[in-house]
Amino acid sequence: MRRVLQAFIMVITISAQAFSVSHAFEFKGFADTSLTKSTKDADSDRYRNGSFAFGAVDLYFAESLDEVELLSELIVTTTGSINAERLYLGYVFSDQLKLRVGRFHTPLGFWNTSYHHGKQLQPTILRPEALRFEFEGGIFPAHSVGAWVTGRSRTSAGLLEYGIQVANGPKIVLSGSNKVLNPNNTSDNNIGKAVSFNAAICPVMIEDLKVGVSGHFSRVKDDTATPPLMADVNQEIYVAAFTYSPGNVNLAGEYFNIGNRAESDKNYNSSAYFGLITYNLTEKWVPYILYDKMLINESDPYFQTLNTKDVTKTTLGVRYNISYMSSLKGEVRAVKRDNKDWNEFALQWAIAF
């Protein structure tokens, strides 16, 4: 059945591509391949031998029919399965008011909605630690299924972006032997809905600056029935983010505060942040540095269930733009996770098509 579904999705995708040639219909994609080597004291043997890997192939298309819009993004994963990454229908009342219903990238901070699977767009090879995807042991709901009212308005103070979202809250499920977050694609395992908000401004007074705040409130419950750790928390996530590009320098940073209230009414607080500096040496050469950190409260049942540990990571890299559609990136990373230190070396070739 699964193979039939995959074949069906591929046929639809190929048909869509053929259709797009003769119609005002856009079909695009991303792909990447990488080589990563870690030093022998890394906490997993994933990269210890030096590993070539192809990343997910991202296929997305959109259609706009007057006020109605559709966006579909399919991911062909490294295991060969096809996942619906994003799929939404939208109704555009105006630029100031758009309603979208379906599955989205959760608008927490800027990175999650700006880059996601588009490695060619992403300034670095990897996402910051705090923004790992759910299935990779991520700590935030990177995806949401629900309704999202969003808009953009140019005011005398600057360009405002805003949105509010009501969605199924995430749950915790088993993935192999690990417990991971799951966005609850087709149902909700508790009555309370997750609510997110985002607001950002590009002020007129400071060109090329964008600052924003966002939040996510939900109940997250361990759905695995696998003792001993079974988190059931009311979660509040607050994010402050900025990007600033004076001249050839691009600065970006995000700060996350994660508050979890357990059934015992006990509150736990953890935080994470990253800072990124890229410098456009020329149009082709862009060196960068990324520093990211997670400070986890070890008593928090949510993080105990997800087995999340403190991480500090410094990444030095350089990007070479082959063209506007393709780039090579090389990185050296110094990683400290749960009191273990190691280094990683990585190369990535990314393309948009």
Partner 1 sequence: MKDAKFIFVAGSTALILSVILCADVFARELAVIANREYPMNSISVSVVKDIYLGEKTIDGNIKIRPMEQRDEAIRKMFIERVMGSTIDGYKAYWIKKFFQEGIMPPAAKGTSSEMIQAIMKTAGALGYAWIDDVRNEAGIKVLMKMEVGN
Alpha-carbon separation of residue 95 from 24, 146, 199, 229, 258 (angstroms): 20, 20, 15, 46, 32
* CB 160 to partner 1: min, Å: 12
Q: Which of helix, strand or coil describes residue 46?
A: coil
Q: In the window 30-89, what residues touch partner 1 (CB under 8 A)? A: 30, 60, 62, 64, 66-67, 69-71
| Residue from 233, 272, 286, 352 in contact with partner 1 (CB under 8 A) | 352
Specify whether the CB–CB gap between 289 and 274 falls below 8 A.
Answer: no
CB-nearer residue toward partner 1: 81 or 94: 94
Q: What are phi and psi for residue 5, nearest 5 degrees?
A: -65, -45
Name the segment binding partner 1 (CB under 8 A); options: 49-57, 124-132, 230-238, 323-331: 323-331
* Cα torsion angle, 296, 197, 180, 255, sign: negative
Q: In the window 149-168, what residues touch partner 1 (CB under 8 A)? A: 152, 154, 159
Q: What are phi and psi for residue 271, nearest 5 degrees?
A: -145, 165
CB-nearer residue toward partner 1: 198 or 308: 198
Specify whether the CB–CB gap between 284 and 321 falls below 8 A.
Answer: yes
CB-nearer residue toward partner 1: 119 or 221: 119
Strands 285-295, 68-76: pairing kind: unpaired
Specify whether the CB–CB gap between 111 and 130 falls below 8 A.
Answer: no
207 binds partner 1 (CB under 8 A): no
Angstrom distance (rounded) from CA 287 to CA 279: 6
* CB 215 to partner 1: min, Å: 20
Name the segment binding partner 1 (CB under 8 A); options: 26-34, 189-197, 252-260, 328-336: 26-34
CB-based burial label for 4 (10 Å; 0-12, 13-18, 19+): exposed
| Residue from 1, 24, 191, 205 in contact with partner 1 (CB under 8 A) | 24
* CB 241 to partner 1: min, Å: 15
Question: What letter does residue 231 receive in the DSSP assignment?
Answer: -
Name the segment binding partner 1 (CB under 8 A); options: 13-21, 76-84, 289-297, 321-329: 321-329
Q: In the window 103-132, what residues touch partner 1 (CB under 8 A)? A: 113-114, 118, 120-121
Specify whether the CB–CB gap between 188 and 221 falls below 8 A.
Answer: no
* CB 121 to partner 1: min, Å: 5
Chain residues that interact with partner 1, rule: CB under 8 A: 24, 26, 28, 30, 60, 62, 64, 66-67, 69-71, 90, 92, 94-95, 113-114, 118, 120-121, 152, 154, 159, 283, 323-325, 352
